[in-house]
Amino acid sequence: MARHTAEFLRQRSSNMSLRVAAATPASALASSRLSSFANPAEFESTATPTMSEAEKAFVVGELGNRRSVSLCDSCYRDIPEARTDSLRLQLTDNRASCSVCSVMNSKPEVFTEPFCAFLRDNPTIFHAVDYFKAKMTSLGYKELPAREDWTGKVEAGGKYFVTRNGSSTIAFTVGKAYKPGNGVAMIAGHIDALTAKLKPVSKKPTSAGYVQLGVAPYAGALNETWWDRDLSIGGRVIVRDESGKTTSKLVKLDWPIARIPTLAPHFGVGMMGQNNKETQAVPIIGLDGPKPAEPLGAVGSFTATQPPRLVQLISKELGIKDYSQIVNWELELFDLQPATVGGIDKEFIFAGRIDDKLCSWAAFQGLLASEQKDDDGTIKMVALFDDEEIGSLLRQGAKGNFLPSVIERTVESLCSKEKPFGPGVIGQTYASSFLVSADVTHAVNPNFVSRYLDDHAPRLNVGIVICADSNGHMTTDSVSTAILTRVCELGGCTSQTFQIRNDSRSGGTVGPSISSALGVRAADAGMPQLSMHSIRATCGALDPGLGVKFFKAFLDKYEQVDAEWE
């Protein structure tokens, strides 16, 4: 599209107004993005423009995925035409109805559909991390490869992210007024979910004419909620091309190819948890043909150990013609039924993998939406880990060195001769920091109210839940509770409280291991859900947005709250 000159804009700016633009058909909106308040001189600069708050909110709220968007005059002028030229725009002089202003004001309802879309489009942990990377890059975050020297690459006012294993990521911003030794406002969560992973040798002999798939439960998967579900397959495939270069490619199938069938009650075999996961929870993926399928690949090759038709299918999805290029894969089953809103007033979200894509996604969005003021002196950080459901012991888990390594390398890069890097600066940093261990918690179930403590029964669509445990399974104490309560006051958030009954078993989070390893103050807080560890769960339709609002408030207000303490 032609670039308007300053003189051209001056000649027409006097008669431009929001009301005229509002009366203009949507197809004509592309002719100009200026109101009468526009300064034509601003359009003569050839420097790369800084992303405006309106444009950032447009990206954070994923408004580009909508069919139509309402924009006030200010937001309309501040968002580049390339982001909206395919949308049906509705101009308004009421900021309360502006889609972008709603994101900037953290209105919970604007995050419902983006969260559902995230769940639908990213069924595996590898897809989730890839989503986070793409969104961060679109907002100007720079990747810091772990193998490279970070000296001179991290600076005050910058935005960065690091990944490990393609299944964990840490993103952070450095305050413009940051000084070495200042604290880190950090949120840690997990993005792994209960699943069933393909075994190293997933090919099984046909049984009664069925082609079956060898899978193993990850954490508590293959429980009774996995029976009779429409299951598909996704994950990452390790590929070596003709030149010998090895890469990782993501794959997901968009139709159900697997099912774990129940046995009809007429046979007198119970189907509610008494079944053998090795022999009675084996997925069927097809019927055998008149001739047994021949292995694809030489004896001893990876593809020779996998179901031939599955190898063919995955190869076709990735455009691979030589099956020997598949060196290995990490594939898993996932429930294909999409996330959706439900309830009489659509007040629920029904979905798989809510634990814990809910808090992780909300914390991530909170970071992307957080403010970057000139007097910000802290590092704002969100760490999303793998392997929480199985103990966090692997290198991409919370008990690995990923988080302290990123913090310490960041501080090292920001140090100077006047404030050299060393144990003193790191000790000062951790002493000034705070961790929110963000994981979903239990919403009250109306059919089992007696299993909850009085006044410790969180409700959906209300707000963040501060979680406590007398035996140290949670990090929360009186100090950290007071800090989060103050954050809620400043951020306009409503908090709830949860603790398990004495005759029930508490779950665990990444909080205790991280806070004890770093020595930082910490609290456990998360959004509530029903049916935890079921293949399908329920949260409130407003809960993703309420989570975004709280996590953004924590990142933006922690420095102020910390300064209130003696």
Q: Report pLDDT for 549.
A: 98
Tokens 């420095």 locate to: 559
Q: Report pLDDT for 293.
A: 77
Q: Report pLDDT for 10.
A: 37
Name the more confident of 275 and 57.
57
Q: Report pLDDT for 39.
A: 53
The model's confidence at residue 271, banded by pLDDT at 50, 70 and 90, is confident
Burial 397-420 (b: 16+ CB within 10 A, else e): bbbbebbeebbbbbbbbbbeeeee
Instruction: Convert the pLDDT of each residue in 153-189 to its tens digit.
Output: 999 999 999 999 999 999 999 999 999 999 999 999 9
Instruction: Check if the beta carbon of residue 368 is closer than 8 Å to that of residue 135.
Output: yes
Q: Report pLDDT for 135.
A: 97
The model's confidence at residue 8, banded by pLDDT at 50, 70 and 90, is very low
One-letter amino acid of 491: G
Cβ-proximal residues to 184 (8 Å cutoff; 6+ apart), any chain = 172, 378, 379, 380, 381, 407, 429, 432, 433, 434, 520
Cβ-proximal residues to 473 (8 Å cutoff; 6+ apart), any chain = 506, 507, 508, 509, 512
If you compute the radius of gyration of the chain from its CA atoms, what whole number of angstroms results?
26
Q: Report pLDDT for 4.
A: 36
Q: Report pLDDT for 507.
A: 86
Is the pLDDT confidence value at 277 over 60? yes
Q: Report pLDDT for 396.
A: 96
Name the more confident of 561 and 273.
561
When pLDDT is averaged across residues 473-478 and rounded to a whole number, the result is 95
Q: How far is CA 566 from the centre of its chain?
A: 35
Instruction: Convert the pLDDT of each residue in 353-392 to its tens digit.
Output: 999 999 999 999 999 999 999 999 999 999 999 999 999 9
DSSP reduced 3-state for 110: helix
Instruction: Check if the beta carbon of residue 201 is closer than 8 Å to that of residue 134.
Output: no
Is the pLDDT confidence value at 15 over 80? no
The structure tokens listed for 535 are 């293949």
The model's confidence at residue 36, banded by pLDDT at 50, 70 and 90, is very low
When pLDDT is averaged across residues 115-133 and rounded to a whole number, the result is 98
The CA distance from 483 to 557, in Å, is: 10
At residue 155's C-alpha, the angle toward residues 409 and 399, to 5°, is 30
Is the pLDDT confidence value at 440 over 90? yes
The structure tokens listed for 449 are 């109210």
pTM for the complete prediction? Answer: 0.91
One-letter amino acid of 312: Q
Q: Report pLDDT for 566.
A: 83
The CA distance from 21 to 93, in Å, is: 11
Is the pLDDT confidence value at 120 over 90? yes
Is the pLDDT confidence value at 342 over 90? yes
The CA distance from 84 to 287, in Å, is: 48
Q: Report pLDDT for 108.
A: 97
Instruction: Convert the pLDDT of each residue in 192-205 to its tens digit.
Output: 999 999 999 999 99
Stated length of the chain: 566
Tokens 């909508």 locate to: 66
When pLDDT is averaged across residues 339-357 and rounded to a whole number, the result is 97
Long-range Cβ pairs for the range 310-316 (8 Å, 24+):
310/202, 310/213, 310/233, 310/285, 313/253, 313/257, 314/237, 314/251
**φ and ψ at 7, to 5 degrees?**
-65, -40
The structure tokens listed for 426 are 């790191």
Is the pLDDT confidence value at 33 over 70? no
Is the pLDDT confidence value at 86 over 60? yes
Instruction: Convert the pLDDT of each residue in 287-336 to its tens digit.
Output: 998 777 788 888 889 999 999 999 999 999 999 999 999 999 999 999 99
Cβ-proximal residues to 533 (8 Å cutoff; 6+ apart), any chain = 194, 219, 220, 223, 355
When pLDDT is averaged across residues 213-240 and rounded to a whole number, the result is 96
* Helix (H), strand (E), coil (C) string for 15-54: CCCHHHHHHCCHHHHHHCCCCCCCCHHHHHCCCCCCCCHH
Is the pLDDT confidence value at 16 over 50? no
Is the pLDDT confidence value at 89 over 70? yes
Q: What separation in angstroms does the CA of 445 have from each of 266, 328, 402, 465, 524?
A: 31, 43, 36, 15, 21
Is the pLDDT confidence value at 43 over 60? no
The structure tokens listed for 348 are 């629920």
The CA distance from 153 to 164, in Å, is: 19
